[in-house]
Amino acid sequence: MIERIKETADFLKEKTGFKPLAGIILGSGLGGLVKSIEVKHSFDYSDIPNFPVSTVEGHDGKLIFGTLEGKNIVAMQGRFHYYEGYSMQQVVFPVRVLKMLGITHLFLSNAAGGLNPSFNVGNLMIIRDHINMFPDNPLRGKNLDDLGTRFPEMGETYNKGLIEKAKKIAEKNSINYQSGVYIGSSGPTLETPAEYRMFRILGADATGMSTVPEVIAARHAGLICFGISVITNMAVFDEGEEGTSHDEVQNAAGEAEPKMTLIFRELIKSL
Ligand code: HPA
């Protein structure tokens, strides 16, 4: 595995001669940040050796090297989800490659369902912590000693300094925000009302199908992490009650995206 990671990183280093400071993973419908990047190199995932091959979704992802607010960054437009059938090792492979390219920070976004009743569709939630409800962990199996330790400590998984900075940025720009705990599970089904209730009782504020595996791999490799969830729908806790309509979901993501982009840009500027 480590050889494959190195091989891919070497390919990208050779093609780009670029050393990124930060990695950015953009969630579904949250790719608008790409417009702010001064693009230097862009690769379809299908052209990158050893990258997982996109089979299910049909829409190809892109790995974009460039500058954002004057900083060297590498952005993943589109990610690999566990529900698509990838193994955990495949889901986190790009994160490990980015680490090998020299990033020190990883910024992640996702679309999520709101569990905290005080949230609204369209809210941004700064991720304070997470709960791993996936049936697997990307670090299971032989430890990659070159990347990190066997039993990574998870006491400050989402960097407190970046969280505080993000809150200040939001306040300065009159952006309304929430903060809370993200619970990640495999999907692809959305939750039943009973499952939403269970997740709320477990202490989560938002739920989704990504982020947790990538952050686990990132923390294993010593990367500093920051994440934002865009609340695209609210949990339906009562059987028979109607959920958020598809139009509402899309509008919510579209409205919240520029605010999330601004927070990411300002944070990266401050690195
Ligand atoms: N549940 C799980 N994943 C999601 C949801 C949800 O309600 N909304 C967006 N991603």
> Can you list the pairs that 8-17 forms with residues at least 24 positions away whose Cβ atoms lie under 8 Å?
8/48, 8/49, 8/50, 8/51, 8/93, 8/97, 8/100, 9/97, 9/100, 9/101, 11/48, 11/49, 12/43, 12/48, 12/63, 12/65, 12/97, 12/101, 13/101, 15/41, 15/43, 16/40, 16/41, 16/65
At 121 the pLDDT is 92
Q: What residue ranges define each of the domains in the chain, with the CATH number in brackets?
A: 2-269 (3.40.50.1580)
- For residue 111, indicate whether it is catalytic: yes
At 34 the pLDDT is 92
Query: Measuring from atom 5 of ligand 1, which residue has the nearest CA?
Result: 113
Q: Which of 112, 166, 170, 209 is catalytic?
A: 209
**Closest alpha carbon to 123 in 244, 229, 243, 24:** 229
At 59 the pLDDT is 61
Prediction pTM value: 0.95
30-85 pLDDT, tens digit each? 888 999 999 999 999 999 999 987 665 546 689 999 999 999 999 999 899 999 99
Q: How many CB atoms lie within 10 A of CB 105?
A: 21
- Structure token digits, residue 46: 């299908």
Q: Which of 42, 83, 186, 266 is catalytic?
A: 83
Query: Measuring from atom 2 of ligand 1, which residue has the nearest CA?
Result: 208
Tokens 């060297």 sit at which residue?
A: 72
Q: How many CB atoms lie within 10 A of CB 261?
A: 21
- For residue 209, indicate whether it is catalytic: yes
- For residue 130, indicate whether it is catalytic: no
